[in-house]
Amino acid sequence: MKPAARPAQPRNAALAQIHIAKAQLMKAGLLDDDSYRDMLFAQARVRSAAELDHAGRARVLAHMTRLGAKLGHAGKPFAGKKRPLDRQAQLDKIEALLADAGRSWAYLTKAMVKRICGVDALEFCTTDHLGKLIAALTYDQQRRAKREAAARVLQNELEGATNGND
């Protein structure tokens, strides 16, 4: 029976890091394509990074780090994703959504906290729970906006029909 194969994602991530490190070292003038392939051969007895096994990838990355490659996040954390709000920012957002709806904190605590979060009071809500409350209040805000827009259209049609009959 064959052993279970390693998932491709860690392999691809390590290969990406190797290629990023290669580009950094080439830019710094510490490496060219021939010396890169010589280094691969010296470290892991291969001529291409695609041929590296798990241990070989680790050895090559360690060697490239010693040569001066900087591995890790180069950009912003959570790139492409919204940063999670801290608790106070979430509570401020909830307060703004409640004010926009003309509702009080009592509406939130009596109706939504128990039903959505499954806890007895807002104080017991985690940041994940607060995120769910924000999502529900945002959905409610969008639903109210659609309802108000439909009411305005209906009102305009009624006014047009009334003015047209004069």
Q: Name the phi and psi angles at 65, rounded to 5.
A: -65, -40
Yes or no: say if 44 and 56 are a contact pair by the CB < 8 Å rule: yes
**What is the reported pTM?**
0.47
Closest CA to 105 of 133, 63, 135, 64: 133
Compute the distance between CA of residue 98 and CA of residue 109 in angstroms, rounded to an integer.
11
Structure tokens at 120: 């007895």
- Per-residue model confidence (pLDDT) at position 166: 52
- Per-residue model confidence (pLDDT) at position 162: 74
Burial (CB < 10 A; 0-12, 13-18, 19+), residue 46, is middle
- Per-residue model confidence (pLDDT) at position 83: 64
- Per-residue model confidence (pLDDT) at position 133: 93
- Per-residue model confidence (pLDDT) at position 112: 87
Q: Domain residue spans in the chain?
A: 10-67, 87-164
Residues, the chain, total? 166
Per-residue pLDDT of the chain (166 residues; tens, 9 = 90+): 555 555 556 888 888 889 999 998 888 888 898 999 999 999 999 989 989 898 899 899 899 889 888 877 655 555 555 666 788 999 999 999 999 989 888 888 877 898 998 888 889 999 999 999 999 999 999 999 999 988 888 888 888 777 765 5
- Per-residue model confidence (pLDDT) at position 159: 82
């945002």: which residue's tokens? 138
- Per-residue model confidence (pLDDT) at position 165: 57
- Per-residue model confidence (pLDDT) at position 142: 93
- Per-residue model confidence (pLDDT) at position 81: 59
